[in-house]
Structure 1
Amino acid sequence: MNNYNAITIGKFLITPLTRVLDDGHIACSVSVRSGSGSATTDRVLRLTRLFKCKAAAAQYALAEGMRWLDSRQQHTAAA
């Protein structure tokens, strides 16, 4: 599994993750982490889209992590 450059948005750390499958395609996930120490929360979203390029997979995962965070923050603001 390869980690690419993580980005910080507010109190969240978004880290794209990729791995090569047996058939040569690239699968991706994204980690959205907040907190520290025993109060750390880490959500890992497994994404279903497959890629032929690791960089494209990482970019997609990062974008999906930011989109997930944005939708979560909009939901919290509406409540």
Structure 2
Amino acid sequence: MGKYVVSPATHPTDCGRFRASFSVRRAQGNDSQRREFRFETTFASREAARLFAVTQGWLQACMPTHPGC
């Protein structure tokens, strides 16, 4: 069974709003995999974008195909 590390991030847009993204890294023995997810939706605040990224990352890491959740 591997462990998952979710790293949320926010990115300012040119119009003063924020976009959300996150990466999920899984390490199992000597093998590791990383996937990045970026969203087009914009948010009025950095905190709103961060909360969205954290929630989406948690959902991705706990999908039924991932053992251990």
Q: TM-score, normalised by structure 1?
A: 0.70
> CA-to-partner distance for each residue in 1:7-61, whole Å, 9 max, x for gaps?
xxx711101111101111101101101127x733111111222111111111110
Runs of at least 5 residues in structure 1 that lack an aligned partner in the other structure: 1-9
Greater share of helix residues, 1 or 2?
1
| Number of matched pairs | 65
Q: Equivalents in 2 of 1:34, 1:22: separation in Å?
A: 33
Moved over 6 A (4+): none
Task: Report sequence identity in percent.
Answer: 26
Counterpart for residue 35 of structure 2 = 43
Q: Equivalents in 2 of 1:58, 1:50: separation in Å?
A: 11
Greater share of strand residues, 1 or 2?
2
The 10-residue stretch of structure 1 (24-33 or 47-56) with the greater mean CA deviation from structure 2: 47-56
Counterpart for residue 65 of structure 2 = 75
Q: TM-score, normalised by structure 2?
A: 0.78
